[in-house]
Every structure is written in structure tokens, then in C-alpha cells.
């Protein structure tokens, strides 16, 4: 009898957990063994309550698999004896190196500008030197002509005084400070001398402007020469890698810093931060949050193009400190469709503890599919939120927090699963950033950044769990200190 009652009680508890209403999640504290002796509550989702709403899971598109265009990094030759290979010294190391055979250096902070200005200086100076004698000769000629015409005008005025008398206005008068032309004459009296003098005054004005321009050019050239006495040293050189993103890793790039990559020769290259240390390196950082310096509550076009600061310089003179940024959905899609790609999501809380979630397969489709997300092959200790949803929830409420198979949403482009088409039911608008929202999230890496970690619904803009959260690690209402997403080619043998 006791066994029967116990079974009935267990069945009732299980039924009650599956039938929790929306308001129940405000107060019910659910214990999950993974969270080690503390309780959490989740409000990152928008529950389906009895009699309202309906949740329909979407088809999950499989990630890119099969053959790959990628090649692995060549294995180093075995070391024999005590011989050590000397490190190759790049030309103009530390300065501006262009088109090196293996790893060139692009200088984005003035070196190319210096070279261009020095070339222009030579051309401009040659032109100035050729123009100067002509200007001087023209100036002497106009001065002689002006003096001649001026003497003729003086003689003409003397004769006009005799004809018209001193009390009448003369048809031509020249007055004003030396070197300044001022003409006045009646409309009915125009002579060749007035027309000639008018032309000469205009020509003198043009010559004076040319002189001023020449002086400005010579001053600018002199200033540029003074600034370029010292060799150009860029504060943040960027190693140039032509070809695809894997070339950075395959060609032996060892330093974690900002690189210039060109995955597709039909499109211009762009800057990325590459992590060459985590799990044998080769990672391209596609998302990074670390200090809240960049607002991630942005429009669709911003997420499509990318935004934020790629990297900052350090004491070593290289851009090896990553900034907060989103690489851009177009570029992420381009990189993940080159071949099988894996993603590493690393997190840190405000106590310094770190965890990670890794997926062996990660693909973002093109904009025509609203950047549909597909992941598979989870490993790590942060919890499989992208594929399993929030562990604090049960049944349908957990299913609606799965991000795999979702389209990307921003506050001006609603593609989530929370009553599509209803402007008052938008996950991105309430949860603070663009993401592959379902209804709504178990992970929110692009949410609002809260200092210190814990926050409340009163602090949230819409009263929802809108922080930088990963529910399967820290639960709800805890905003992480740092989170990053990085991708690289996936090799089954790695």
C-alpha cells in the first residue's frame, strides 16, 4: 500500500512540474544537480501557458559536413641533434613590411600614407619647380605692362582734366593702396585703357593666389619632411595572410593577435582576431564580450556587416588584446560554409571561474535563410544550451529554449518563434541583442552587460532575463563577465 501511495505521489509531482504556469516560474526555485548546491530560476524563456499560445518546433537544418577545402598545418620536421632553427627575420622588422613571401605586415596607422605622400612630394615639387620661372616671368611682364599702362593712364587723366575740368568725374580713376586695383568709370565712357587695366588687375589677383598656393604647398612639404625624418614605426602592425582564413594557422602563425584574412578572392580582405593558443590554436574570434564597452542592441544591418573593436595594442607593439565585437553574419556565414567548422564558446563569471561549450559542427547559412543556425557534437562543462535548452525547465518550456535550427533575430527583424509577426512579442527587443532566439533563450551572449553578475527584473529594461547569460551554467539573472565565440576548420583526426 505504501509503495502504491509513493508511486501516486511521484506521478503527481511529475505532472505538476510539467504543468507549471508562467507566474510559477517567478517563485519556484528548481534544483539541478549540475549547479552544485544552489538554486536557480529561469525567466529567459516565454512559457506557453494553458489556453494561450502554441509552440511549434522548427526543422533543424544539418551543419555542413563531408569533404573540406581546408588543409591542416604541416607537421614540423623532427629535430636532430642540438641544431636549433634560426627564426626568420622579416624585412624592416617592427616597421612597415609589405608583400613578404610568408607573413607580410600591413601598417594601418600611417606608414602607407607616408610612402604615398613622399611620392606625391617629388611629383609636386617637380611641378612647382617647373611652374616657378613661368610665374616669375609672367609676374615681371605684367608688372612692366601695368607700369606702362599706369603711366599712360596718368597722362590720360592729365589731358582729361584739361578737357573736362577739375570739377567733373573722370571716366577712369585708379586709386587705392599700392598693389591694389580699384577702377571706377562712368557707364558711357569706356576706353581701351580701362579694359586693359581691368584685365591686368584680375591677372594680378590670379598670380597672387598662385603664389599663396605655392607657399602653402612648400610649407606642407616641409612639415611632412620634418615628420618623416624618423623611420615610420606602426603601433599595431597586422600580419597579412592572402587566401583563406586557415592560412594563418597552416602557414605557422603563432601569435594571438589581429590578422588580415581574405577567405574569398572575389571579396576584399578584412581584419579578425585569431587565437593561436587555445586548444592548439587556429581560432577566428567571431564574437567577444569582456567589459560592456560596445552596445550589442543593434539593427539587422549592423549584425550583418559586423561592429565593435577588433583588437588593441599592447606593450609589445602588436594588436594582441581583443576588443568587444561581432564579426558580422555575412562573414560568419562565409567562413562556416567553406567546410566543416567547429565553434568554441568560452565563458567567465565574476569570481574568475571559467567553463566552455564546444560544438564539432557549426554552420550559419546565408542571409536568404535569415542566417539559419545549425550545430552538433557538443562537448564541454558549460551545458549544452544550444541543442538541449535550459536544464531548469521541463517539457515544452525547455524545448522552446533550444537555439539549434533557429533564424537570427534583431529588434528590427523578428524571426523568433514567439508569436511571429506580433510586434509586442519580440525576443530581441526584450532580451537586448541580436541572436538565434527561439522563445526565447537558454543562452544570450549578446544581451545587456551588467557589472557584478547578479541583477534583478527591476534593473532589466523590460523586466526579463536580458543579461549576458548561459542558463545551464549560472542560471537566470546572472550576467557573465566575459564570453567569446571562436571558430576554426574541423578535422576529425584532431
Q: Which of 178, 239, 237 is closest to 204 using CA atoms?
A: 178
Q: Is 219 exposed, middle or buried (0-12, 13-18, 19+ CB in 10 A)?
A: exposed
pLDDT of 54-113, one tens digit each? Answer: 666 667 778 988 755 555 555 555 555 544 544 444 444 444 443 343 444 454 444 445
pLDDT at residue 454, rounded to an integer? 95
**251: in domain:** yes
**101: in domain:** no
**266: in domain:** yes
Residue 410 main-chain phi, psi, to 5 deg: -130, 170
Say if residue 134 is in the same domain as residue 159: yes
Give the three cell numbers for residue 81: 641533434
Altogether, the residues listed in the chain come to a count of 494
Say if residue 220 is in the same domain as residue 256: no
**141: in domain:** yes
Say if residue 27 is in the same domain as residue 149: no
Question: CA-to-CA distance for 201 and 195, rounded, in angstroms?
Answer: 10
Q: Is the dihedral of CA 318, 322, 328, 330 positive or negative?
A: positive
Say if residue 282 is in the same domain as residue 194: no
Say if residue 341 is in the same domain as residue 416: yes
**414: in domain:** yes
Predicted confidence band at 29 (pLDDT cuts at 50, 70, 90)? Answer: very low
What is the SS3 assignment for 344?
Answer: strand
E runs forming strands in 323-416: 325-326, 341-348, 354-364, 373-380
**119: in domain:** no
Q: Which of 477, 475, 490 is closest to 36 using CA atoms?
A: 475
Say if residue 130 is in the same domain as residue 64: no
Q: Rounded to 5, what percent of the chain is helix, strand, coil?
A: 30, 20, 50
Asked if the peptide bond before residue 172 counts as cis, ω within 30 degrees of 0, the response is: no
Say if residue 263 is in the same domain as residue 372: yes
E runs forming strands in 219-280: 238-240, 257-261, 270-275
Last residue of some domain: 187, 202, 227?
227
Please list, in sequence order, all residues whose beta carbon lies within 8 angstroms of the beta carbon of residue 153, skipping any fewer than 6 positions away.
172, 174, 193, 197
Q: How many domains does the chain have?
A: 2
Predicted confidence band at 196 (pLDDT cuts at 50, 70, 90)? Answer: low
Say if residue 208 is in the same domain as residue 261: no
Say if residue 466 is in the same domain as residue 374: yes
**371: in domain:** yes
Chain centroid to CA 48: 38
Where in the sequence is the domain holding 263, given as residue range(s)?
20-70+244-489
CATH code of the domain in which 410 resides: 3.90.215.10
Say if residue 210 is in the same domain as residue 254: no
Neighbours of 313 (CB within 10 A): 17
Rg (CA), the chain: 37
Last residue of some domain: 227, 261, 285?
227
pLDDT of 153-180, one tens digit each? Answer: 777 777 767 766 655 544 444 444 444 5
Last residue of some domain: 227, 254, 278?
227
Grid look-up 629535430 returns 79
Grid look-up 543579461 returns 467
Say if residue 463 is in the same domain as residue 381: yes
Q: Are 328 and 303 in contact (CB under 8 A)?
A: yes
Mean pLDDT of the chain: 76
Say if residue 221 is in the same domain as residue 172: yes
**183: in domain:** yes
Query: Across residues 201-223, what is the average pLDDT?
Result: 78
Amino acid at each position: 500500500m505504501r509503495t502504491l501511495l509513493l508511486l501516486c505521489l511521484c506521478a503527481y509531482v511529475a505532472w505538476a512540474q510539467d504543468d507549471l504556469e508562467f507566474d510559477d516560474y517567478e517563485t519556484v526555485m528548481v534544483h539541478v544537480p549540475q549547479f552544485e548546491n544552489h538554486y536557480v530560476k529561469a525567466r529567459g524563456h516565454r512559457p506557453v501557458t494553458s489556453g494561450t499560445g502554441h509552440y511549434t518546433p522548427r526543422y533543424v537544418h544539418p551543419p555542413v559536413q563531408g569533404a573540406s577545402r581546408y588543409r591542416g598545418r604541416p607537421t614540423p620536421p623532427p629535430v636532430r641533434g642540438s641544431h636549433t632553427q634560426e627564426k626568420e627575420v622579416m624585412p624592416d622588422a617592427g616597421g612597415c613590411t609589405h608583400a613578404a613571401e610568408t607573413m607580410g605586415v600591413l601598417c594601418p596607422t600611417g606608414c602607407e600614407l607616408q610612402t604615398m605622400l613622399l611620392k606625391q612630394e617629388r611629383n609636386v615639387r617637380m611641378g612647382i619647380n617647373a611652374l616657378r620661372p613661368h610665374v616669375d616671368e609672367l609676374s615681371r611682364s605684367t608688372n612692366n605692362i601695368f607700369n606702362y599702362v599706369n603711366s599712360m593712364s596718368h597722362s590720360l587723366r592729365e589731358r582729361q582734366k584739361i578737357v573736362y575740368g577739375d570739377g567733373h568725374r573722370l571716366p577712369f580713376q585708379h586709386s587705392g593702396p599700392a598693389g591694389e586695383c580699384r577702377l571706377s568709370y562712368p557707364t558711357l565712357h569706356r576706353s581701351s585703357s580701362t579694359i586693359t587695366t581691368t584685365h591686368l588687375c584680375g591677372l594680378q589677383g590670379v598670380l597672387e593666389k598662385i603664389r599663396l598656393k605655392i607657399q602653402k604647398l612648400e610649407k606642407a612639404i616641409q612639415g611632412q619632411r620634418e615628420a618623416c625624418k624618423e623611420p615610420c614605426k606602426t603601433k599595431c602592425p597586422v600580419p597579412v595572410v592572402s587566401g583563406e582564413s586557415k592560412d594563418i594557422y597552416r602557414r605557422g602563425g603563432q601569435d594571438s593577435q589581429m590578422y588580415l584574412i581574405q577567405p574569398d578572392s572575389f571579396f576584399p580582405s578584412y581584419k579578425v582576431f585569431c587565437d593561436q593558443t587555445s586548444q592548439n590554436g587556429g581560432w577566428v574570434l567571431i564574437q567577444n564580450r569582456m567589459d560592456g564597452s560596445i552596445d550589442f542592441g543593434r539593427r539587422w544591418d549592423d549584425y550583418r556587416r559586423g561592429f565593435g573593436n577588433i583588437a588593441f595594442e599592447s606593450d609589445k607593439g602588436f594588436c594582441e588584446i581583443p576588443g568587444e565585437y561581432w564579426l558580422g553574419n555575412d562573414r560568419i556565414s562565409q567562413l562556416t560554409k567553406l567546410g566543416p567548422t567547429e565553434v568554441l564558446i568560452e565563458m567567465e563569471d565574476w569570481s574568475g571561474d571559467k567553463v566552455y561549450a564546444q560544438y564539432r559542427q557549426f554552420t550559419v547559412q546565408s542571409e536568404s535563410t535569415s542566417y539559419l543556425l545549425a550545430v552538433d557534437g557538443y562537448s564541454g562543462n558549460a551545458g549544452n544550451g544550444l541543442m538541449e535548452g535550459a536544464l531548469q525547465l521541463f517539457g515544452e518550456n525547455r524545448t522552446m529554449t533550444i537555439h539549434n535550427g533557429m533564424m537570427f533575430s534583431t529588434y528590427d527583424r523578428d524571426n523568433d518563434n514567439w508569436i511571429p509577426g506580433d510586434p509586442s512579442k519580440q525576443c530581441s527587443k526584450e532580451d537586448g541583442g541580436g541572436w538565434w532566439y527561439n522563445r526565447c533563450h537558454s543562452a544570450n551572449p549578446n544581451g545587456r552587460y551588467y557589472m557584478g553578475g547578479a541583477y534583478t527584473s527591476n534593473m532589466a529594461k523590460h523586466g526579463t532575463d536580458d543579461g549576458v547569460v548561459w542558463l545551464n551554467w549560472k542560471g537566470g539573472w546572472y550576467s557573465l563577465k566575459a564570453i567569446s565565440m571562436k571558430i576554426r576548420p574541423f578535422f576529425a583526426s584532431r
